[in-house]
Amino acid sequence: MPTAALRDRPELKGMTLSSTTFGALGVPAPLVEILAQREITAPTPIQAATLPDSLAGRDVLGRGRTGSGKTMAFVLPLLTRLSRSTTQRQSRRPRALILAPTRELATQIEDALTPLAAPLGLTSRTVFGGVGQNPQVTALRKGVDIVVACPGRLEDLIGQGHVSLDAVEVTIIDEADHMADLGFLPAVRRLLDATPARGQRMLFSATLDAGIGVIAKRYLSNPVTHEADSAQSPVSTMAHHVLHVTPDGHGQVLLDLVAAPGRTVVFTRTKHRAKKLARQLNGQGVPAVELHGNLSQNARTRTMEAFHSGAARTLVATDIAARGIHVDDVALVIHADPPVEHKAYTHRSGRTARAGASGTVVTLMTDDQVRDVRDLTRKAGVTATTTRVHATHPLLQELAPGDRSFEGGFAAPVAQASPRQGSGQRRSGSGSGQGSRPASGQGQRRGGPSAGGSGSTGGGGHRGGARPASAGRPASGSGSRPASAGRPASGSGSRPASAGPRTGSARPARSAASFSEGTRRTR
């Protein structure tokens, strides 16, 4: 596909693409062919800048904002080196290591890596906590070429003798600044000490803070530094808006925005707030799931599957989850709670306008937050348009176009429940939505959200149409009310996304004012 045609791809619209090709940069023909099959033919700026050096075997320090294409910038030279190496795959001794700060990011890297590695006969394995280690141990014992790991679990397996890093030829640290934010740098240093000094090392980060500089100076040999689309450079296709709201109107404005068509990510400061807000949105008929540190890995996986598939169109997340969310076509990011510092604002906002696509970032601000938000946007290097709004303000339709729909809260199908939980009536201790009871009217009788609005993380639920009768309903004789009882008061069961005006009568029985009161109390 020529570059001109490539620019017509929606997800790359607006990005300055390189006029060169992957082949011209030195990427081997087999990999170029695989990329072409996936309609990837023009490098992004960070890829065009780093590939000549990384393919030549040099240590590389690359800085680029989130969504700039850093993953492919290190995956391609990694696969090139391993495919040309004469070493063989060995039990417990991987040939390459990629370190990532979060489980979600490790999974995203694996997803990008696998389609390119498999045709070359190369294998990989993710290693992270929150899941049983036995499948990871078994894979390592059989032998894998590449390990994509979070530092904690990898150190555990090394301590138990299940893996050694003494055969690693290429080491990559992705999102090193986030690694520092989470306090992982001591573990990263120990892991790098366990890899051969003669191996190639690459470090990629959105920012190059002091801690990152120490790692680079100690472990990278004569590195070449490349910067493209730095974190302090606002994305031209990202529009920033601050909506000045009253405490009473905060929840009403948020509800109107998330009820619009398309995927939305909502950020909160605390896990408790994320959990409760997801329940409230589900109680108002907006299918939402939650992502925060209290969820098990299986729950986190189901959450992302639901968000990827569109079964839940709103994801409510905390800051610690921000870096691991890599989903295409997120048109809107909402800071329901303004972040504490500007780096968090940058990384939260980076969930939209990825790979050159356009996106909108909205920060909800009350009177007591004016000074903090002003400082936040200044330090983040963005110019935001500030507007005082209410729930029916016309600007909301401009920021999130389309008819508002309240088709019913998200609930996992019964098939997702574990045998011990039977029909899904028992809640998990973490409140993650695993095994939570299906959406029912019981929660709304209490004036709260439906019970199924806990951000259940199964794969069920449908947008813009009625759910199958079996989705989210209890087993026969379980005594729970059916899922439809918690749906909008109109009695239609669900409402297509195109139905009705934006302030129509299809909202659930619980009022927007009640929702606003609930969000205000949890802040």
Which whole-number Å values give the CA distances from 500 to 174, 403, 489, in the listed order?
46, 7, 14
Measured distance CA(206)–CA(193) in Å, rounded? 24
Helices assigned H by DSSP within 184-270: 185-193, 210-219, 247-258
- Give CA–CA dist 408/392, Å, rounded: 22
Rounded Cα distance, 516 and 197, in Å: 57
pTM of the model: 0.58
pLDDT tens, N- to C-terminus, the chain (523 residues) = 333 333 333 333 334 444 589 999 999 999 999 999 988 888 988 899 999 999 999 999 998 766 678 899 999 999 999 999 999 999 999 999 999 988 888 998 999 999 999 999 999 999 999 899 999 999 999 999 999 999 999 999 999 999 999 999 999 999 888 888 778 889 999 999 999 999 999 999 877 776 788 889 999 999 999 987 544 444 446 789 999 999 999 999 999 999 999 889 999 999 999 999 999 999 999 999 998 888 887 888 888 888 888 899 999 998 866 565 666 678 899 999 998 888 788 878 877 755 556 689 999 999 999 999 999 999 888 889 999 999 999 999 999 999 999 988 887 644 333 333 333 333 333 333 333 333 333 333 333 333 333 333 333 333 333 333 333 333 433 343 333 333 343 333 333 343 333 444 345 445 555 565 555 544 4
CA distances from 241 to 63, 351, 374, 400, 520 (A): 26, 15, 12, 12, 21
- 319 Cβ partners below 8 Å, 6+ apart? 267, 269, 339, 344, 347, 348
